[in-house]
Every structure is written in C-alpha cells, then in structure tokens.
Amino acid sequence: MSSELQVFRLPDLGEGLTEAELVNWLVAVGDQIKVDQPIAEVETAKSMVEVPSPYAGTVAELHGQAGETLDVGKPLISIAPVGAAPAEPEAPASAEDPVSTGVVTDAEASAAAETYRTEEKAGSGNVLIGYGTPGGATGGRTRPRKGSVAVVDAAPAAAPEGSVAVPEAPMEPVVAGTRIPGKLSAVISPLVRKMARDHGVSLDAINGSGASGLIMRRDVEAAISAPEASAAPSAPAQAPAEAAAPAAASGDLDSRTGLAVSARTPVRGVRKAVAANMTKSRTEIPEATVWVDVDATALLDMRAELKKRSPHDTPGLLAFIARFVTAGLKKYPALNTRFETGTDGSQEIVGFEGINLGFAAQTDRGLVVPSVRNAHQLSARELDAEIRRLTAVAREGKATPTELGSGTFTLNNYGVFGVDGSAAIINYPEVAMLGVGRIIDKPWVVNGELAVRKVTELTLAFDHRVCDGETAAGFLRYVADCIENPGGALADM
C-alpha cells in the first residue's frame, strides 16, 4: 500500500523562506484527518504558523520531530488516502530494485526539494495558509515526479489504455511549465493546483469533470492513480540522532584560545535570518550615515498636554515621529525606494506609490521588523494603534510574513535601550533607516541663553547609490524640524 501514500512536502510559507523549525505536531500516526486540517506548528524566521494538510486520509508517517529544522520541499507528512489501509513499514530495498520499492534516493529527494524551493520563489500563486507566494498565478512548477529517474524506461509500458496521460519525465519540466492561455482559470481550488504540482501532473492534460470543464480534486486524483503517475514514497525521515545534532559536549577545548567550550548554539530561526540579511546589507549596500541632535522639548510638552485632555488614547512619541517620517518621505521619495540589479547586470531604482513603515521590535525570538502598511494614510493616533497591534503579534510570534517583510523604510527606536546613537545596518532590501536615540536632559542654547532641554539624536543610514548627502540631510533636517516644532508641522500635514 506504500505506493498509495500521499506525501505532503513542507511548502514555502512566504517570502521565499527555505526552512522552518518543527515546533509541534498537531496529529499523530493513525489519526484520521481532513483537508485543510492543521497538522503541525512550525516556526520560520518570520513567524509561527500552522500548516494545513491538502489531503484527507490516515496519517501514515510524520517526517521529523519537534525541534528539528526542516527544509522547504522536504517531506513533512505521509497520508494514506481515505479508504486505504495505513502503509506497513517495508524492509529497505536493494539498490538493484528501485522500481519495485519506489524509494526515492537522497540525491533525488534533494534535487526535488531544490526545484520545489526555486519554483516557490518564482511564485506559483498558490494560497496555502492565508497568504500567497510572490508573483503571479500563470506559471506552473516544473518539479519532476518523485522517483522519475528510476522509472523513465518502465513507466510507458505500465500505462493501461485509456488512462490519463502524464508526460514522460524528460519532458515534464517543459510541459508543466507551459500554459495554454485561459487554461489555468479552469482550476479554482489552490489545493487542487498544489496536488497536481506535487505529483507532477500537468493540468493541461486533464479534462475537468466539473461544470464548464472545471478541474476537480477527483480529476487530479484519477491522474495521480494512473500507474505511470504513481509517486514513490519519500525517503524515510532521519533518525533523531542524525536529524538534530546535539550541541558540543561541555569540556571541548577551543583550539585557538585553549579554553573549554561552554556551549554551542545553532544559528537558526530569527537569528539566522537576521544574520543573513545584515550580511547581505553590508556586502551590497554602500551606506553612509548622517546625524543631528534635536531639541524634543516641544514634542514632549505637546504630548503631555494631550495626555491631560485624553489620558487613555494619546499617541506615543514613536507614533508622532512616525507621522513626521512619512511626511518627510513624501518630500524626499528617493529614500522610499529599492535598488535592484537584474540578471543581465542592469540596474534600476524602484519607487513606490505609498509607504510601508517598518519599525524594529525586540521579541523573545530576536529582533523583527513588522511594518505598518500604507502608513502615509494614517494619523498619529492610527499609527500608534497599528504599532501597538503589530508589536503584540510579533512578540507572540503570530505576525504573518507579509507583516514582517513588506516594509519600504524602517524606523528604529534604540533609545529604549538607553543609548544615544547607532551605526545602524540598513534593513535590506530597503535603502534607508532612521534611528532615534534616548531623550535626555542636556544644556541647550535657547534665544541666546543656556537652558536645560530634552534632547535626542537622530541618525540616518542611507544607500548612497540612490541619493546623495543633500537628499539625506534634507530629509533628516525635515524630521528634526518637525520634532522641534510639532504643532506647526502637524498643522501642515
């Protein structure tokens, strides 16, 4: 019965992520599950999400254990179809008989997973857990059938007359990636599209049994059940000892320092994503930094007065500064762009009709940057409410990849950590970041006389490829002037 198993691979959970940590299984072997039923909780570098099953049936195998990091495109769960008996464990097959066992080699599984990840990044239009992959819905994945290398010669002879034809393995990448205009509209369910792609079935070869030729789930299942399209079960999951290598035993000596190693902490999840993003930013972006000290006394006084009138819904200081930033980006749009380099070496600066304002938020999982979408349309009070909401969901690990990966400019309030300034690293692929330091009492000259004022430091890191110092300084000075004269600035916005 193993040939009947439906193997669901870990999908791209958004933003082209390549791996996820398996936090908890929501089902067990032998459980009966339904389509769209959550089967596992996984934590990506962006958020914690529940993964639903595209298949109904009996759970036959769980590929992985809690705490294990799984690659996108690798098997997550195997399910016996409704009405089929759960697959019995089979003895390992010999290398001479790959067709009879249907076992996929490690090389084939890795190749299939890599193809899967590449195509997910290109964008399939598939909606799995509430948000789509990047790109349009016109392209089809070209992933080869599992075990296709081993059964290329045998598959044509095994196909009975009248069965639904599936292209032979060598032709699959070409056929599966080709769409007849308007054909895709005959498939409405994203789960049906995903099922077809997972099993290497070309939708172009299927005549839908639904109204107006609509391709139904049963049509794809019929194509999958054809002998030539039978998919081999994925390679068994690694043993726990292989899947999650333990940290180095205490007492190991470091060859460089001669000291005992106290611990080795795997870099994964948010920390791994931050490390990769910061490295890419430093490697690709020729950044420059400008800064200025700002008298924020008037802003604090204005907020204190508002708080007296309305104690419960007065915006925080960050919301007011965010409002000034969005106004400044309208005046200096070069800082609200993205610098792109094409595969042919061509370069262009991409501008946006709108501002998604990201802000740095410290969580138990590390530093994340949720973004307020269309922040330029919001008042200070509305910005405050959205900042509080996004901070809460980010700290709970429930922010979506869209909320965490769609910013066009970042505001970083590192003053909450008690520091004055920072040589910030730009949040790639954005081109600028504004940092706000702590607000402290400092001597300040006011109308020719020395006074104690509330002073903060603003620091702007910017990509020198998109603008020169004049633009960066103009934006920074605009925000500083708004902070020093908040009443007049808000009146003009």
Return the pLDDT at 111: 62
Higher pLDDT, residue 211 or 258: 258
Average pLDDT over residues 180-205: 61
Which residue, 47, 84, 45, 61, is CA-closest to 9? 61
Which residue, 196, 234, 220, 242, is CA-closest to 76? 234
Return the pLDDT at 230: 41
Residue 320 Ramachandran class (φ > 0 left, ψ -120 to 50 alpha, else beta): alpha
Task: Say whether 301 sits in a helix, a strand or coil.
Answer: helix
Within the chain, all domains assigned CATH 3.30.559.10 are found at 269-492
Residue 232 carries which side chain, given as an amino acid letter? A
Percentage of residues of the chain with pLDDT beyond 90? 39
* Cβ contact 166:205 at 8 Å: yes
Return the pLDDT at 327: 96
Return the pLDDT at 115: 55
Return the pLDDT at 2: 44
211-215, 287-291, 428-432, range with the lowest pLDDT: 211-215
Rounded to the nearest integer, the mean pLDDT of the chain is 76
pTM: 0.57
**295 pLDDT more than 80:** yes
Return the pLDDT at 219: 81
Return the pLDDT at 45: 64
Catalytically annotated residues: 464
Return the pLDDT at 233: 45
Q: How far apart are CA 226 and CA 178, in angstroms?
A: 22
Return the pLDDT at 36: 87
Residue range 45-80, pLDDT digits in tens = 666 778 899 989 999 999 988 888 888 888 999 999
- Fold topology of 269-492: Chloramphenicol Acetyltransferase (3.30.559)
**140 pLDDT more than 70:** no
Which of 297-329 are b and which e, b meaning 16 or more Cβ less than 10 Å from the residue's Cβ? bbbbeebeebeeeeeeebbebbbbbbbbbbbbb
For the record, the structure tokens of 373 come out as 């979408």
Q: How far apart are CA 304 and CA 288, in angstroms?
A: 35
pLDDT band with cut points at 50, 70 and 90 for residue 17: low
Return the pLDDT at 108: 57
